[in-house]
Amino acid sequence: MSEAELATWTAILAAMVRAATPLVFAAIGELVTERAGVLNLGIEGMMLMGAVSAFGAAHFGLGYTMAIAVGMLVSVMMSLLFAFLALGLRANQVACGLALTIFGVGLSAFVGKNLVGTPVQPLPALEIPLLSDIPLIGQGLFAHDILVYTSILSVVAVSWVLFRSRVGLILRAVGENHDAAHAIGYGVLKVRCFAVMFGGAMCGLAGAYLSLAYTPMWVENMSSGRGWIALALVVFATWRPARALLGAYLFGGVTILQLHAQNWGVPVPSQIMAMLPYLATIIVLVLISRDETKIKLNAPACLGKVFHSGR
């Protein structure tokens, strides 16, 4: 392999990791939410609000840490709006999620109007000593910004908490049988509210990553369906964190190949290539859903169901 080819492959690998990162965040957040039995279709809206507020904070000179925190905070506030309606007022979760997306798309475009076209310094890369010197994968995997590493760590952490800790046990219990959990005495709504907030925070990270690192700028609707792809990833992962990570990287790969195809002179129009991630999502969804019992076995049994305490 020539030096130039090596550099290309390294760049592709690095680009794939970057493309996957927002999906990892959003999918892991939604996975936790769904494990608690709540279907939040508002990822896209929360992500955009996280993106615009983190970008705004950075633009007004708050510094990266604060900017990311602002993005998360705003996104959590959006998720609380959902929690209030879907959990507090027992409204239909599908409708609430759609409302959150429509509202988030509009509000982010609205408040971000004056930020369009303004620049911001991208998040700096942190090269991991030694590892980043490995040829090919060193610069591809170990020379990223802090959020990329955070996304991987969050998968590990969520995995551990869900399957090894008491908190995870309770969370899964609430998602599997909310009536039983309630009868035993767990605060179903409280657990679910925290899960929704966690989902919100992760969407905030996903958004902040988009506007501060991936394409360091703010554009209306810049998530372009990533929130929905993340939802599909959760199904693809059969609600397991490690598989969600794998799925996100697969999608990262598809996205990047699509961009590089033009550089390689593949004679397919850019619009057709741009359909790839969406078509891939559909295909993946079809492949995984084909086996109905597999989904039934793995899906949280109370997913999307309204919980009535009372009698």
| Phi, psi (rounded to 5 degrees) for 269 | -60, 150
The residues near 192 (Cβ < 8 Å, ≥ 6 apart) are 36, 37, 38, 83, 87, 174, 307
- By CB under 8 A, is residue 235 in contact with another protein? yes
CB of 311 to another protein, least distance (A): 7
Enumerate residues 80-99 that contact another protein by CB under 8 A. Answer: 81, 84-85, 88-92, 94-96, 98-99
- Alpha helices of 42-165 — where are they, by DSSP H? 43-59, 64-83, 93-111, 137-141, 146-164
- Alpha helices of the chain — where are they, by DSSP H? 3-35, 43-59, 64-83, 93-111, 137-141, 146-164, 166-176, 178-184, 188-209, 226-236, 241-263, 270-274, 276-289, 292-298
Rounded distance, CA 299 to CA 36, Å? Answer: 11
Enumerate residues 263-282 that contact another protein by CB under 8 A. Answer: 269, 271-272, 274-275, 278-279, 281-282
Region of 20-28, 66-74, 106-114, 135-143 interacting with another protein (CB under 8 A): 106-114
Enumerate residues 198-217 that contact another protein by CB under 8 A. Answer: none
- By CB under 8 A, is residue 190 in contact with another protein? no
The closest alpha carbon to 33, from 247, 239, 309, 245, belongs to 239
Closest to another protein by CB, 242 vs 282, is 282
CB of 8 to another protein, least distance (A): 26
Where does this chain bind another protein (CB under 8 A)?
41, 81, 84-85, 88-92, 94-96, 98-99, 102-107, 109-110, 113, 166, 169-170, 172-173, 176-177, 179-186, 220, 224-225, 228-229, 231-232, 235, 269, 271-272, 274-275, 278-279, 281-282, 285-286, 289-290, 292-293, 295-297, 301, 310-311
